[in-house]
């Protein structure tokens, strides 16, 4: 029986994780959960899974809520979150908080030498230079949950010889605007951007998929997780989202991982560690399958150039890229800027900073703060 702490339990990844755990109750116990402020949903989870500990980032949203009555010792401070993650009885930490807000949890888990299932790609993008060496020093195993990275993980098992890899191919659905020219993007609305063709996900990652910034974050995530130069990582648009990524070896073999688009598949793989866990899934109907591939749509290459620069220069560039995007997405979802302005905010913020090394988590938080201030200035300058 493995004890799990699921952070981001009330989100989209949280839901999928609970579905996998529900189907494999013999093997897993939900020891603790963490969430932002959705107390109703947290209460449903506690009724079914009875976790010992609950971390709520905004516990005072509704002091009279039933959950706060039935769990009088709700955790809410960063020290309490750290103590929960570092509890010796915890075997697996799932990092599925959305955005930069998930970084501290990822850091605590890696620092404690835990096995961490990472969905929160923003942690790796912003702080890869800190987290990856820390994982090695603390013997923490990082298992990717993001479907593309989990696919690569399956096609290129840990401890394989990096020298045997010729290329990694990350697939992208292309998002809702795959067929639009860059010019046509000036007309799109928030509702259009929220309609993802193949995946159902949280708001932030859905917008990131529409801009293709999600694929940029994934390129950087792959670079850090698999220690592969960006020159060996390609991105290809694959609208059906059946092949989740591929690895080509130096002998010419390409291995692909396939499933219908459902996050429970990579989560089951990650949670299974070295074993295959049974889950209910919709099998691929191969006789009706048509797979197609195409390049990234015109006009959007510029953000990939920035992402590749992040991989090559590292340091503070990942946290700046990530922070500028978070501010831009927030401004777009609150209808302060247009869809195409997201690109302007990222690029102008990114260009404002020189590349610099980072050596501590505090450095990352400082650059995150500065980049957010700068991105807000760019937003003001747009009007």
CB of 190 to ligand NAD, least distance (A): 16
Piece in contact with ligand NAD (CB under 6 A), picked from 2-10, 187-195, 242-250, 356-364: 2-10
The residues, ordered by sequence, that sit 6+ positions from 212 with a Cβ below 8 Å of its Cβ are 172, 174, 175, 296, 297, 300, 303, 304
DSSP state of 326: H
- Indicate the Cα dihedral angle 335, 201, 19, 7, nearest 10°: -60
Asked if 205 touches ligand NAD (CB under 6 A), the answer is yes
Cβ closer to ligand NAD: 96 or 256? 96
Per CB under 6 A, contacts with ligand NAD among 125-154 are 146
Asked if 202 touches ligand NAD (CB under 6 A), the answer is yes
Per-residue string for binding with ligand NAD, 240-269, x by CB under 6 A?
-----------------------x------
Piece in contact with ligand NAD (CB under 6 A), picked from 83-91, 116-124, 244-252, 320-328: 116-124
CB of 133 to ligand NAD, least distance (A): 22
Q: What number of chain residues touch Mg ion (CB under 5 A)?
A: 3
Asked if 9 touches ligand NAD (CB under 6 A), the answer is yes
Question: Phi, psi (5° rounding) for residue 293?
Answer: -140, 145
Q: What number of chain residues touch ligand NAD (CB under 6 A)?
A: 27
Please say whether the dihedral angle defined by the alpha carbons of residues 139, 134, 314 and 361, taken in this order, is positive or negative. Answer: positive
CB of 51 to Mg ion, least distance (A): 27
Contact by Cβ (8 Å): 220, 311: yes
Two tokens, residue 24: 């494999």
Asked if 11 touches ligand NAD (CB under 6 A), the answer is yes
Cα separations (Å) of 127 from 12, 23, 109, 220, 367? 23, 34, 14, 11, 11
In the list 5, 45, 193, 201, the residue contacting ligand NAD (rule: CB under 6 A) is 201
Strand 254-258 to strand 243-249: parallel, antiparallel, or no bridges (unpaired)? antiparallel
SS3 117: strand
Asked if 57 touches ligand NAD (CB under 6 A), the answer is yes
Per CB under 5 A, contacts with Mg ion among 143-182 are 146-148
Asked if 104 touches ligand NAD (CB under 6 A), the answer is no
Cα separations (Å) of 144 from 141, 225, 364? 10, 8, 22
CB of 95 to ligand NAD, least distance (A): 8
Cβ closer to ligand NAD: 34 or 51? 34
Asked if 14 touches ligand NAD (CB under 6 A), the answer is yes
Q: Which residue is nearest to ligand NAD (CB)?
A: 11
Could you tell me which of 319, 29, 271, 15 has the C-alpha nearest to residue 150? Answer: 271
Cα(316)–Cα(338) distance, integer angstroms:
27
Cβ closer to ligand NAD: 38 or 333? 38
CA 55 to chain centroid, in Å, comes to: 20
Residues at the contact surface with Mg ion, assessed by CB under 5 A: 146-148
Residues at the contact surface with ligand NAD, assessed by CB under 6 A: 8-14, 34-36, 38, 57, 96-98, 101-102, 119-122, 146, 199, 201-202, 205, 263
């Amino acid at each position: 029986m493995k004890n799990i702490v699921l952070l981001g339990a009330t989100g989209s990844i949280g839901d999928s994780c609970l579905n996998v755990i529900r189907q494999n109750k013999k093997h897993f116990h939900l020891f603790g959960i963490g969430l932002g402020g959705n107390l109703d949903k947290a209460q449903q989870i506690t009724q079914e899974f009875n976790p010992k500990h609950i971390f709520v980032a905004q516990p005072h949203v509704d002091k009279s809520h039933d959950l706060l009555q039935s769990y009088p010792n709700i955790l809410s401070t960063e020290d309490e979150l750290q103590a929960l993650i570092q509890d010796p009885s915890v075997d697996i930490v799932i990092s599925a908080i959305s955005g930069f807000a998930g970084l501290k949890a990822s850091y605590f888990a890696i620092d404690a030498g835990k096995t961490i299932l990472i969905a929160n790609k923003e942690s790796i993008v912003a702080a890869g230079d800190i987290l990856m060496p820390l994982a090695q020093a603390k013997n923490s195993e990082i298992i990717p949950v993001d479907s593309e990275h989990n696919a690569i993980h399956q096609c290129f098992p840990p401890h394989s010889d990096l020298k045997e890899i010729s290329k990694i191919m990350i697939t992208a659905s292309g998002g809702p605007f795959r067929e639009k020219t860059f010019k046509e993007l000036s007309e799109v609305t928030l509702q259009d951007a929220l309609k993802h063709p193949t995946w159902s996900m949280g708001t932030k990652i859905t917008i990131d998929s529409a801009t293709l910034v999600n694929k940029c974050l994934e390129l950087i995530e792959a670079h850090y997780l698999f220690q592969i130069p960006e020159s060996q990582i390609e991105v290809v648009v694959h609208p059906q989202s059946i092949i989740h990524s591929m690895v080509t070896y130096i002998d010419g073999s390409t291995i692909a991982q396939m499933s219908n688009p459902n996050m429970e598949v990579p989560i089951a793989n990650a949670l299974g560690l070295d074993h295959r866990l049974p889950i209910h899934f919709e099998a691929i109907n191969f006789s009706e399958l048509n797979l197609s591939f195409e390049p990234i749509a015109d006009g959007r290459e510029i953000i990939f150039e920035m992402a590749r620069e992040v991989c090559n220069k590292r340091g503070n560039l990942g946290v700046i890229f990530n922070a500028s995007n978070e501010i831009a997405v927030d401004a777009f979802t609150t209808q302060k800027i247009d869809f195409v302005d997201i690109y302007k905010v990222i690029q102008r913020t990114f260009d404002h900073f020189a590349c610099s090394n980072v050596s501590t988590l505090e450095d990352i938080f400082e650059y995150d703060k500065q980049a957010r201030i700068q991105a807000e200035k760019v937003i003001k300058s747009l009007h």
